[in-house]
Structure 1
Amino acid sequence: MTEEDVLSEFRASGALLEGHFKLSSGRHSAHYLQCARVLMDPMRAGRLASAIVAAMPRELRGEIEKVVSPAMGGIIIGHEMGRTLGKEAVFLERPGGTFELRRGFDLKQGEKVLLVEDVVTTGLSSKEAMAAVAEAGGEVVGLAALVDRTSDEVQFDVPFYPLVQITFPTYAEDELPAELAAIPVTKPGSRK
């Protein structure tokens, strides 16, 4: 699946939004990818998950024992990745502000985990999720995502497999361009 194919899937589902958005990272952007919309069609979600898996090395696919994703955004794509890989898919939650496994989900000591996100922007959430997996006894062997919005400064301790890299500019609150500052801000993500 090419980058244009992926963006076509986002456009077709109304998931590529334009305006003034405050991202969960706290940064601002004129574009927002509403992954919940692109994933609401199970057939599309399955195609996207299959494309991510196809881009991963065969050795890594064989090593993965469980798929873990952070709630809310990663749940659907994580589940589809689990289906594609033929592995169980569980998710992390933040009931008290810190990621943890709940609902009877657990990891065996040393269990090889693929962490799956919808969008990675600053990498902070992914790193927090990796720490929670390690604390639960698992070992993250790779990170996969629908969309990579990171900058070159963001590095992970595991291989990162995004389906597409999109570099829409983002801005801190105090560096907003005048044309973006003139548009009312919307916070469309799941974290308030």
Structure 2
Amino acid sequence: MDKQIIDILKETEAFLEGHFLLSSGKHSKGYVQCAKVLRFPDKAAKVLEPVVDKIKGLGIEKVVGPAMGGVIVSYELGRQLGKEAVFTERKDGQMELRRGFEIIKGEKVIIAEDVVTTGKSTIETKEVLEALGAEVVGVACIADRRPEGVEVGMPVFSAVKLNIETFDASDCPACKAGEPVVKPGSRGNM
């Protein structure tokens, strides 16, 4: 299954190779730009089908995706599960549930992401949802590219697990070779 997902990511130019600056500040030789695959509804449905298979028995009542990357993923998971899909977004640098979206106390919620690397947005979203009374059952994503040892404090259900090495800028082989760095993500450097 991983090969099929990676093939779709490559076919849609969502899986990139080069020298990238991640939103965490780390550098990487690979990047997954899920917006490229999510622009095709049929391919979005296909890459998220294995995730739906993994989470459909969890009693999920609502899907919540952090903006930007989780918005379309949240919608597609909600569509396939037949559940409401909403999103959180940043206001003045803080993650919030806005636009009249609501969480009912005790509601079973899954967080929807495109890619989980450091888990920053996922953890912030979890904190917001739990403060509103939700029971967060995990995070569902297209690609889990967390390095070994990075935990998000909940189960991660992904379509594909990627092991793409990351580096501090001072230890980055591409920087040492003089390769220009590209910042493809939506979040500013932290």
Q: TM-score range by the shorter chain?
A: over 0.9
Counterpart code for 2:133: G
Aligned positions of 1:172-183 closer than 5 A:
172-178=168-174, 181-183=177-179
The aligned residue for residue 9 of structure 1 is 8
Q: Structure 1 stretches of 5 or more lacking a match? A: none
RMSD, matched Cα? 1.4
Counterpart code for 2:52: V
The aligned residue for residue 80 of structure 1 is 76
Q: Report the TM-score, using the length of structure 1 for normalisation.
A: 0.93
The aligned residue for residue 159 of structure 2 is 163
Q: Are 2:112 and 1:116 equivalent residues in the alignment?
A: yes
| Structure 1 CA distance for aligned equivalents of residues 124 and 53 of structure 2 | 26
The aligned residue for residue 43 of structure 1 is 42
SS in 2 for 1:94: strand
- 1:2-23 per-residue CA deviation (whole Å, 9 max, x = no partner) reads 1110110011101111221101
- 1:109-157 per-residue CA deviation (whole Å, 9 max, x = no partner) reads 1111011111011122211110011122211012111111112312233
Q: Structure 2 stretches of 5 or more lacking a match? A: none
Moved over 4 A (4+): 178-181
Percent of paired sites with the same residue: 46
The answer to whether the Cα contact below 8 Å between 1:114 and 1:142 also exists between their aligned partners in 2 is yes
Q: Are 2:14 and 1:18 equivalent residues in the alignment?
A: no
Question: Aligned residue pairs: how many?
Answer: 188
Could you tell me which of 59, 62, 65 is aligned with 2:57?
59
The aligned residue for residue 138 of structure 2 is 142
| Structure 2 CA distance for aligned equivalents of residues 178 and 187 of structure 1 | 14
Q: Report the TM-score, using the length of structure 2 for normalisation.
A: 0.94
| Structure 1 CA distance for aligned equivalents of residues 115 and 169 of structure 2 | 21
